[in-house]
Chain A
């Protein structure tokens, strides 16, 4: 499966990853190689095989409905690039 630089640009947009224009072609080549590797899967007969999303040992643990978190806003916002009056700030979003 060959991906074009345009394909890369649109996937990169979907994933919000900035890619420099000159990097699109080499990336397209790299990812096409990976897809060729992955294409081997198509030859395997998986008729009737249940997809496995988690290891067999995994089970879901549920917690009781208790509020144990306290307000830690100052601590939790310490690593934030920009905050004001308790809000996280981002460039103005036009709706």
Chain B
């Protein structure tokens, strides 16, 4: 496997362990982040985790803080496994490896890199591309855990408040707050009333079963139209852009829960429902938890693959010839299995189509004020009536630090069944490109000049031609498509039964000599756009290993004194979360 030399600065490099001169070293250097390998593998550990993806990293940190000795390895030279943040060069190599069949559960990977731009105007490592892009709800178990585990201190967050729905050939910005409903001149009076009533209801929906119970098995669209008299456009915004559902078949209670998630997240840290992490999504959070695990005592080894596990002797063998005795369990990412054909790997029945595109264009008009990201949703049927599932897109600008100035990263996801997924993503991409080019013409002063004498507009033909050319062919710097498989069906969490079946294997099936008998396979990333479900999956794994999840991240950081808190606050002043804490600190210190 060719080694990619250039990589992005790791989290540990961006935020070194030493903060200021006086403060003590609170974050030990991560073996593997700064140096590729620890000096030697320990001889005896409690748990071996193979693959440094999001769920495994949360698990590693939880186990380490609970007191288990964890050896966390990854066959790649980078962190993240199924959820890494990659440079363009690393992504190209990854695509090659998928096509060589080296990475199971990914298919049809394709990449285009503009050779006259990448490596010239932009460096490969200017881009940090996530295989699993995600947004973080302000009220969610992930955010609570990031705070509780203090992993948020390694990171920086930015708000995201603009959600767009593509409907009737245009991108509508959501009207989702009382303020917007009140001031919007286009919404009829009765509709304002209905919308507001629904928004109030949904915040406490479980308390009003008389309203929704009759719709438990009916579609949400039916519920919204019959109970709240909302029309198709409004219900589609609620279901697909606020609820971020994929299709109309989602049951009413489940959809209500998803809509509430959005609304309850509003105004927790400010007038926005979600945040995103700078420098990368799931890749960044994975790294954060790995770092936390290392502080808790886990040992890290990159460039190391699992060779085999013998459940009788409890010996794990690695590709570098080393071995370790495991007292508890071995957790393996399906992508890093020693035997891709093994029947022990849970069936990965659900396909996710992903398209990521780097474009040379500033899409500021789509972002909220001072923001650098937006979510765009194509409800079912909105792409020439062809898509049965919604296409979800997250667009990041350069302030997210995952792409250089003047460029954007667009992530598009679909769970469309069958072979239509790629075409639909391309269609959605084309629609967005057309829209952004059209909007650019409207705002570009060079195209329309005003005649000095008459004051009437004169179109500058030269500029218009250039703009129209761009409209036909906007500059795409990089475009990558792939399909990923997962055992987690859309909107569900990893099924605990998967792990239970494997547990049975450990006792019954030790004789046939499979290399992976007795290991627990962790789930592949789900299609969920937020982090919901990841912690539940990690908890289920944790419970399988420890016996209960009572002490999952039951950590007390009593050691931390005011000095370090202050320092952290100053270093991370850009983060929406630390700012908030800072304010309260001031109040406490004053009294």
Q: Are A and B co-members of a single complex?
A: no
